[in-house]
């Protein structure tokens, strides 16, 4: 059964979970792992020009044998590109062996926001959509002020803002998520398992452990810490971009939506524990943070 979908502000549907070809696959051949993800039920594939592996993502789509209509494919604009956005997407489509992507994102507001070019970048994104090269358009790593800037002149409201989202960035992410909710911009998350994989041993760990035990008792079968964090993201209204080389982990991720809901007090406990530590793994330059 395909993962459930969420409706975007343009009326189209996006699967709640996507397989990312960045981070561990950055500048690497993604073919085998993408085929594996598709074979095991993930039909939303998240790429980017800067990952330098769109050609292998395209090969995987072809090798999977999955009809194009059953896949949701995202790519993202190279952060330095402000002049010929249509041309760069056409090049991406050649690599992907597709005639359109389902979602095209501005990968980063930087450096365009520092150069006063953000509104022009978004105008070009609207032209790309009008030309049929991208079904939906959106942004990534945008702060509230970046979103406000493009909304001043936008004819199309971004469908998605994909950001690093986990409890250890909730202090800065919360206002972005809430702004998105107010304007119909869906939040997509990446780096959601950072408290487990990049910053273990922090204040969130015992909170997740106790919630996991509670759900295991309720459900009567094992529940992982990763599933609890994924459920937290889902209940924040976010879609989840993740990656793994293991089939059992794919199945675990897909099963996270079937977990009983976290209680309101449990969500609050995760939020509050996250506020005790700040860990940003990506895009420090956008947020003016040092590593």
- Which CATH number fits the domain that encloses residue 56? 3.20.20.100
pLDDT of residue 253: 95
pLDDT of residue 251: 96
Q: Is residue 199 part of a domain?
A: no
Q: Is residue 22 part of a domain?
A: yes
Q: Is residue 85 part of a domain?
A: yes
Query: What H or E segment, with its residue span, contains residue 175?
Result: helix 170-183
Which portions of the chain are predicted below pLDDT 50? none
pLDDT of residue 49: 97
CA-nearest of 221, 188, 223 to 208 is 223
**Longest alpha-carbon distance in the chain:** 56
The domain of 64 spans 5-193+233-258
pLDDT of residue 22: 86
pLDDT of residue 24: 79
107 is in an annotated binding site: yes
Helices 144-151 and 118-130 pack at an angle, to 10 degrees, of: 60
Q: Is residue 38 part of a domain?
A: yes
CA-nearest of 83, 44, 68 to 188 is 44
Q: Is residue 267 part of a domain?
A: no
Instruction: Give the tens place of pLDDT for each residue, 92-150.
Output: 999 999 999 999 999 999 999 999 999 999 999 999 999 999 999 999 999 999 999 99
Active site residues: 51
Q: Is residue 240 part of a domain?
A: yes
pLDDT of residue 289: 87
Indicate the DSSP class of residue 255. Answer: H
Q: Is residue 37 part of a domain?
A: yes
Q: Is residue 46 part of a domain?
A: yes
* Structural domain total, the chain: 1
């Amino acid at each position: 059964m395909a993962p459930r979908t969420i409706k975007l502000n343009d009326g189209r549907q996006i699967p709640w979970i996507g397989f990312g070809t960045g981070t561990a696959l950055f500048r690497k051949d993604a073919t085998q792992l993408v085929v594996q993800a598709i074979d095991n039920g993930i039909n939303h594939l998240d790429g980017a020009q800067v990952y330098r592996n769109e050609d292998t993502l395209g090969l995987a789509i072809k090798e999977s044998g999955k009809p194009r209509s059953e896949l949701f494919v995202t790519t993202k604009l190279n952060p330095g590109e402000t002049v010929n956005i249509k041309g760069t997407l056409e090049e991406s489509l050649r690599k992907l062996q597709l005639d359109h992507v389902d979602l095209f994102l501005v990968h980063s507001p930087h450096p365009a926001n520092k150069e006063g070019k953000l509104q022009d970048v978004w105008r070009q994104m609207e032209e790309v959509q009008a030309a049929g090269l991208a079904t939906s358009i959106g942004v990534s790593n945008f702060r509230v002020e970046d979103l406000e800037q493009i909304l001043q002149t936008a004819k199309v409201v971004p469908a998605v803002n994909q950001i690093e989202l986990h409890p250890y960035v909730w202090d800065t992410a919360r206002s972005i998520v809430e702004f998105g909710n107010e304007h119909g911009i869906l939040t997509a998350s990446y780096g959601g398992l950072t408290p487990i994989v990049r910053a273990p041993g922090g204040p969130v760990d015992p909170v997740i452990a106790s919630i996991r035990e509670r759900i295991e008792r309720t459900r009567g079968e094992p529940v992982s810490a990763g599933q609890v964090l994924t459920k937290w993201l889902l209940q924040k209204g976010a879609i989840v971009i993740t990656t793994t080389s293991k089939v059992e982990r794919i199945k675990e991720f897909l099963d996270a939506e079937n977990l009983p809901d976290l209680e309101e007090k449990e969500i609050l406990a995760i939020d509050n524990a996250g506020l005790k530590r700040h860990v940003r793994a990506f895009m420090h330059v956008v947020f003016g943070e040092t590593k």
